[in-house]
Chain A
Amino acid sequence: MSRSITLGHYLPGSSLLHRLDARFKLLSLLIFIMALFWLKTGGGMAAALLLLILLLAVARVPFRYLLRGLRPVMYIVLFTLLIYFFFTKGGVVLLRLGPVTVEQAGVSQGLFVVARLIGLVMATLLVTLTTTPLSLTHGLEFFLKPFQLVRLPVSEIAMIMTIALRFVPTLMEESQRLMRAQISRGADFESGNLWRKARNLIPLIVPLFVSAFRRADELALAMEARGYRLGARRTRLHESKASFRDWVVLLFSIAILVVIIVARI
């Protein structure tokens, strides 16, 4: 369990991408993803992936971070390739294993779909690697603002997102403490298949809630005592202001989308 506590993907740095405003990064990401879905040709997809690799280099992201970030989708990638290779037919037969064939259409379509998936993940990684979870939250809050009109409690949601983020490492540690406490009393988290292991976690969830809710009571009391009022207008220590380069990046991603749509790449 402890191996996987690398909280989030954020990689501290001072590159151009790190310094961009989170709101602009999120919006540019959204536009870039739309562009990925608009791409029709393999060449265009390759160019998009190259651009992403270039941007990751600009952000000074070590190669192993990229690999680690892509690891979760590797199974889907392999699985998708297998399905496409063996079940999509058309074009030249590239490989024949008895009655099973791998044909050109399957390979090209499979590679295209997988490249798009990897592009999606890389583009998102690019943002999550260069933006602190806290600024991401502020960015999301900005885009949720319009929903205040339909009485969505946006500032409250942003507030609990910040608090939840802050408590993830704490509760991660807590869950391990609870695990060790239960193991010392004879509980078994190690043996059995994945399913058994998952079911054995239920007795762990309950004490985790009890301790988390105790912390919640204390935190709510502390906030109340310091005069935190729900619904009051809040100010920030660091106000984010859009700069010239933020607009340049945004316009650049819009330009990419327009080129892809117009030129049918």
Chain B
Amino acid sequence: MNNAGMLNYWIKAAMIGAIYAVLTISLAPISYGVIQVRVAEALTVLPYFSPAAIPGLFVGCVIANIFGGNGLLDIIFGSLATLAAALAVSRINNKYLAPLPPVVINALVVGLILHYILGFPAHLTILWVGAGQVLACYGLGLPLLLFLEKRRHLLR
């Protein structure tokens, strides 16, 4: 791709990141914490449509976590989990499986961080985070995905 095309790709990624941060920050009370349903996690289905969402979600997550105030561990590992999930989603072709990686990867990574920080049994923290992610990714992400599928042109 030429310079203009690549530039467009990166700026779109920046906008996706900004939207992720906006959604997380403006719904702060339920976005952070043990029982978290982060509405913005619904956006993790976006790499299914557009590869620009991969760096975009990562950057958005870094910004959201800096503002979130759960500490540096969350900023580093939470964002890397989102990046890994975004990479996985971009490689999945089945729309019903697309919301799965963010559920599994975030539940494991964030769950283990919480286990490490709070000292609760790991299987409990993983289940907690996983439950919140199922709500966000399947409850909101999948409808968003199905909604966008008929409107793919909007994401060009």
Interface residues of A (CB under 8 A from B): 1, 4-5, 7-9, 29-30, 33, 69-70, 72-73, 75-76, 79-80, 83, 109, 113, 116-117, 120-121, 123-125, 128, 133, 136, 140, 153, 156-157, 159-161, 163-165, 167-168, 170-172, 175, 194-195, 198-199, 201-202, 205-206, 208-210, 212-213, 215-217, 219-221, 223-224, 228-230
Contacts and interface: CB of A to CB of B under 8 A. Distances in A.
A261 to B, nearest CB: 18
A7 B22 CA distance: 10
A164 B69 contact: no
A164 B119 contact: no
B90 to A, nearest CB: 15
B10 to A, nearest CB: 5
A202 B39 CA distance: 9
11 contacts: A7-B67, A73-B32, A76-B33, A120-B72, A120-B73, A121-B69, A124-B71, A128-B69, A198-B27, A198-B139, A208-B22
A168 B21 CA distance: 7
Contacts of B34: 75-76, 79
Contacts of A165: 18, 63
Given A124-B69, A159-B10, A230-B3, 15 more contacts: A7-B67, A70-B69, A72-B68, A116-B117, A117-B71, A124-B71, A140-B62, A160-B13, A163-B18, A164-B14, A165-B63, A170-B18, A202-B143, A208-B22, A213-B12
B85 interface: no
Contact of B7 (A7, A168, A199, A224): A224
A213 B7 CA distance: 13
Contacts of A109: 119
A49 to B, nearest CB: 14
B118 A76 contact: yes
B131 interface: no
Contacts of B21: 164, 168
Contact-residue size bin, chain B (C-beta under 8 Å from the other chain): 35 or more
A120 B60 CA distance: 22
A202 B140 contact: yes
Contact of B11 (A128, A168, A220): A220
B112 interface: no
B154 A210 contact: yes
Which 4 pairs across A and B sit closest by C-beta, in order of nearness?
Answer: A160-B14, A120-B71, A164-B17, A163-B14
B154 A206 contact: yes
B15 A80 contact: no
A213 to B, nearest CB: 6
A208 B11 contact: no
Interface stretch (B94-102, B103-111, B144-152): B144-152
A113 B144 CA distance: 38
Interface string B5-49: 011101111111111011101111010111101010011000000
A164 B70 CA distance: 20
A206 B151 contact: yes
A75 B29 CA distance: 10
B130 interface: no
Contacts of B139: 195, 198-199
B59 interface: yes
Contacts of B68: 72
Nearest to B118: A80
A153 B59 CA distance: 13
B78 interface: no
A9 to B, nearest CB: 7
Given A168-B18, A172-B22, A230 B144 contact: no
A160 B131 CA distance: 31
A202 B147 contact: yes
Contacts of B11: 160, 163, 216-217, 219-220, 223
Contacts of A83: 120
